[in-house]
Structure 1
Amino acid sequence: MNQNILFQEYELEGVIGQGSFATVYKARNIFTNQTVAIKAIDLKKANSSFSNEVEILEQLEQTENIINLIEYFETTEKLYLVLEYCRTDMFDAIVTDGMPLDHPILFDWFLQVCTAIERMHQMNLYHRDIKLENILISENNQATLTDFGLATSSKYSIHKVGTEAYMAPECFNMSNRSKLSQTFSSEKNDVWALGVMLILILAREHPWETPSYFDPQFRFHFFSFQDVDTFRQEFGFSNELCLILRQVFNLDPFQRPTATEFKQMIVNLQYVYHVDTCYQPSLIPSDYRQAIQA
């Protein structure tokens, strides 16, 4: 299909996102009146991994909490992905709109993202760029994972990819990079990113800029000796949540839980914030827990 066919079928209504290699437009199907998002990827600027995005999205077709690829068009210069449209992303919904820290929908969204990653990993697919901006929120408050330009089917990755603040330390050639000397686990990198995302949801700030000994905040959390867990000290998290985060942020990637195990830990979590912090202790309601376990 060529570009002419694309614009015979869809009317562009404005830009809703822009990156180094792609621009995302809000558009309307002229014949059905359906609102969609069209991701236009510049093939001259993008690396070869973007050519895998269609293949991966087709494998994940109709998977809950994964963006739905409606169709695609390709020219010599650009690849156009026609995707389902969602009203906002998780960053804007949480940070920009100022959602309360103890809003129960936050846990619902996070568990939906965990479920999406869990299903990908079961299919031996790995996202490698999990972050709030890549989680879309639909009109019915469903969290949807998007942007598979860096996704892979390779269990081990050679090149550092993704967003640095969400990446695991083994991607930066720190200790315990991997049992395979020149690679890191794509799966365990995804799990680490989920942990960073959880802190952002609950604290509204990045725990560190880069997972490196040279980053003072990272060094504080992993290489300082404190009487109180540093996650409790800085963010006011409960001891229970701190123990979960220490497992997720294990510097040995092979000691980290799976996405399924991490999700179950959050389902079973009783208190988010510690009683002695400036926050009120936040209890996940039992009826809510029963609902998400159903």
Structure 2
Amino acid sequence: MELPNKTSLTLNATKNKLDNQQKSNKHDQKSNSQRKEPREWCLNDFEMGIPLGEGRFGRVYMAKEKTSKKIVAIKILSKQEVKENEMVNQLKYEVEIQSHLRHGNILRLYGYFRDKHYVYLVLEYAEKGELYMLLQRDSPFTEHKAASYIFQMADALLYLHNKKVIHRDLKLENILLSNNDKIKISDFGLAIHAPDTSQMKRRTLCGTPDYMAPEMFIDTGYDQRIDLWALGVLCYELLVGEPPFMVENFNELRQRIATVDYKIPDQISLEAKVLISSLLQSDPEKRLPLDHVTTHPWILKNK
């Protein structure tokens, strides 16, 4: 199973122009010629620690990089299982996209290495783990805490969408927390990058049903605004303690999402209700833009 070379990982569809290369002066050329390529990691470079979680194709472990003493998370994926489930391209996309993202609320992918049987992704370590587990313990969150988290998510999504990246699988399990309560959006396995705006409309049905926007169930296509819908679901979930469309039957769930059939409990503030309803709009055109989310009165009042 071949992953892209580190030098080929890019979110920019165009190559560097020749005139940019010609701007280098002789001093730069000399220093570049003396610069050594970074040594690639191997498993022996890390002290493996406790397991942090288990996914479909492998596990995530805490680890320490021996040279720097830096604590990281290592996601270990079985090559055989990835191949058997035809997920090779998806893994390539995950590496290509996440390795180039630089935002304080997006989990860093520092690099990867591989051996005969496994692929290892070296990730930023988020000390507090999944937001899902925190909500299970402290459900529901105060409006102050929820607003802080939603603001951080919205700011990260604004960055992603400016990079023409759609996450497509925003959910509590894919939101991690650091020790200072900093949100870290993770798991870009279903993310897609479309630098050409004419390619932004997608038709692949993917994601987690409770968080899927209405347009994902019909064949009209969808774009980055499905992430806005998921943000609305997350806002509701943080404040109420459960998703707005929680039913066990998939067809009933799809019907409730299509008709936007949900109710916000009375104890939720009016400002929060307005924000949730402005994101959970069946028409993507009517969903509140992310730059308006970050400056929404409820956010500014509580974050």
- Higher relative contact order (Cα pairs below 8 Å, separated by 6+ residues): 2
- For 2:298, the equivalent position in structure 1 comes to 269
Alpha-carbon deviations, 1:240-290, whole Å to 9, x = none?
A: 43333222111112221222222322xx128xxxxxxxxxxxxx7x5x55x
**Mapped pair 1:16 → 2:56:** no
Alpha-carbon deviations, 1:64-121, whole Å to 9, x = none?
A: 211112221134653211011111121112222x156326233212211111111000
Q: Find the residue that maps to 1:269 and give its secondary structure.
A: helix
- For 1:243, the equivalent position in structure 2 comes to 274
Q: Find the residue that maps to 1:86 and give its secondary structure.
A: coil
The percentage of aligned residue pairs carrying the same residue is 28
Runs of 5+ unmatched residues, structure 2: 6-39, 195-199
Alpha-carbon deviations, 1:187-230, whole Å to 9, x = none?
A: 1110100000011100001111379772399279736xxxxxx5
The 1:245–1:70 alpha-carbon spacing in structure 2 relative to 1, beyond 3 Å, is: same
> 1:74-223, aligned counterparts within 5 Å?
74-75=114-115, 77-87=117-127, 88-96=129-137, 98=138, 101-102=141-142, 104-154=144-194, 155-173=200-218, 181=220, 183-185=221-223, 187-209=224-246, 214-215=252-253, 218=256, 222=260
The 1:23–1:56 alpha-carbon spacing in structure 2 relative to 1, beyond 3 Å, is: same
Q: CA deviation at 1:12?
A: 1.7
Superposition RMSD on alpha carbons, in Å?
A: 2.8
Alpha-carbon deviations, 1:136-167, whole Å to 9, x = none?
A: 11112211111111111132222111111111
Q: CA deviation at 1:15?
A: 1.8
Q: Runs of 4+ in structure 1 displaced over 4 angstroms?
A: 210-213
- Contact 1:169 1:212 (8 Å CA) reproduced: no
**Mapped pair 1:259 → 2:290:** yes
- Greater alpha carbon shift after TM alignment, 158-167 vs 256-265: 256-265
- For 1:274, the equivalent position in structure 2 comes to none
Whichever residue aligns with residue 41 of structure 1, its letter is L
The 1:156–1:40 alpha-carbon spacing in structure 2 relative to 1, beyond 3 Å, is: farther
- Contact 2:45 2:65 (8 Å CA) reproduced: yes
Whichever residue aligns with residue 59 of structure 1, its letter is H
Whichever residue aligns with residue 150 of structure 2, its letter is F
Q: For the residues of structure 1 that align with 2:271 and 2:259, how far apart are their CA atoms?
A: 17
- Contact 1:89 1:134 (8 Å CA) reproduced: yes
- For 1:73, the equivalent position in structure 2 comes to 113
- Contact 1:49 1:150 (8 Å CA) reproduced: yes
- Contact 2:140 2:241 (8 Å CA) reproduced: no
Whichever residue aligns with residue 58 of structure 1, its letter is S
- Contact 2:90 2:189 (8 Å CA) reproduced: yes
Normalising by structure 1, report the TM-score: 0.76
